[in-house]
Structure 1
Amino acid sequence: MKSLQNTEISPLGWAFSAWQPDFYPTDLPSDWFFDFYLNHFRLACVPSIEWQKLMPDGRIDQDALEDFVDCVNEHNFLLFVAEETEIEALQILLGFLKGSDIAEAIIRVVVLAEERLPEAEIAGYPVSLVSRHLQLPGWTWQQQDRIVSGEPLCWLERLPSDGKEQSALLMSFMQSLPQATAVPVCIADAEVDIASITNLKTVAELLGY
């Protein structure tokens, strides 16, 4: 499993048609978004709507998996996101991926749960829990009405466009860490635009993260 050298920022998913033409070329088919995205972002937060395409009937779709793997390069990191009811399915997928070309690119699992506390690891990968009520032992950080716990992760339900607000969010998160370290930042804002993400990356660099 690779380790982050710098703080990496990613939206939750990449299928944002509204990002055309500011990010994706106007004539780029949506099937090619993932490949294009990973040439510009090192981190991809993979939502369940995307990883479930790799096993639509509970079985691995080899063609879909090969297409997915072909998009991932040696500089990329993957973070898989699952609801608590999807943990078993994700365990099956991650178990299948063990030993594959992209296994080293997977850095953790994010679980969104309110009813049942997940294990601290899933298929050998550390878990970051995002919840309104539950928390794993150890490190925690609260942002708005969400508690993030377990493996450190900056989870943003909403990304402000204002640079000062973005700076305050990042500083709040970094101050919560027991020691300075490179972390993934996942933006779970369905309305996020590429300009705001680019600005956040600039803010993180200026702050030395």
Structure 2
Amino acid sequence: MENLQVGAYGWQYASWVGAFYPEDIPKEWQLDFYSNAYRVLLVPESIWLQWSEGELEELLDSVEEDFSFFFEVDGSFSEPKRVQLNRVVEAFGGCVKGVVVISEQDEVAVEYCGLPVTLVSEKNTLPGWQWSHAGLTCSGAPCGVVFELTTQPKEQTALLKSFMQSLPDGVEGAAFFVHSQALDMAQLYNLKTIGEFLGY
């Protein structure tokens, strides 16, 4: 990625209707609406594991070609997860950019189904890039994940600066996700705006 891309964990929350989504928007249009405001999405494991072939086609039709999907893997990467993620990768093609593994297990591969892995862990790290915040370390493929988002602009600015300064030489941007089901979309918008103001 050439720039910092801020995104959310999931997109289907009742609390976003009226606050982010229009009150009368059909549920099947929500991803289309989300993708007009943000260019990256971290899909919860519980959601992508349930996708059918028909849903994959509908979801892909909801976004533009430059939209990027990342997929959460919670804990171990079991055979059913591998089979389903392969199915998703085949359907989505270039729109799939990475896997975010949230795990304290010792054995995490650097890629799953051909996708680069970012490990989020309290005690373990993958080789290469690392960035730590609030007791957690993101490592492996450059991708930021935080579980709480400060409401203070100065703290948001410091957060993004810390992340961007951690990126390897030659890497100009990466995805940055707020992993929270209670996410205030106004705060996420503020974070995105601050990133743009900083020139990221």
Q: Same fold (TM over 0.5)?
A: yes
Cα distance, 1:140 vs structure 2? 1.1
1:186 has 2:177 as partner: yes
Deviates more, 1:30-39 or 1:75-84: 30-39
Q: Is the 8 A contact 2:72 2:101 kept in 1?
A: yes
Structure 1 residue aligned with 2:199, among 197, 204, 208?
A: 208
Q: Aligned residue for 1:141?
A: 131
Q: Aligned residue for 2:22?
A: 25
| Aligned-residue CA RMSD (Å) | 1.6
Q: Aligned residue for 1:53?
A: 50
Cα distance, 1:99 vs structure 2? 4.3
- Matches of 1:123 and 1:114 in 2, distance apart? 20
> Within 5 Å, which residues of 2 pair with 1:158-197?
158-179=148-169, 180-197=171-188
- Matches of 1:113 and 1:148 in 2, distance apart? 11
Unaligned runs of 5+ in 2: none
Q: Aligned residue for 2:87?
A: 96
Q: Aligned residue for 2:2?
A: 5
- Matches of 2:130 and 2:85 in 1, distance apart? 25
Paired letter, 1:16:
Y
Q: Is the 8 A contact 1:84 1:116 kept in 2?
A: no
1:154 has 2:154 as partner: no
Paired letter, 2:60:
V
Cα distance, 1:37 vs structure 2? 1.3
- Matches of 1:71 and 1:206 in 2, distance apart? 28
- Matches of 1:66 and 1:151 in 2, distance apart? 27
Runs of 4+ in structure 1 off by over 6 angstroms are: none
Paired letter, 2:117:
V
- Matches of 1:98 and 1:177 in 2, distance apart? 26
Q: Aligned residue for 1:40?
A: 37
TM normalised by structure 2 equals 0.92
Q: 1:201 to 1:64 in 2, by over 3 A?
A: same
1:81 has 2:72 as partner: yes
- Matches of 2:186 and 2:133 in 1, distance apart? 22
Paired letter, 1:22:
A
Q: Is the 8 A contact 1:117 1:135 kept in 2?
A: no
Cα distance, 1:22 vs structure 2? 2.5
Aligned length: 199
1:63-99 CA-to-partner distances (Å, cap 9, x unmatched) read: 2222222223212111111112345333212322444
1:62 has 2:53 as partner: yes
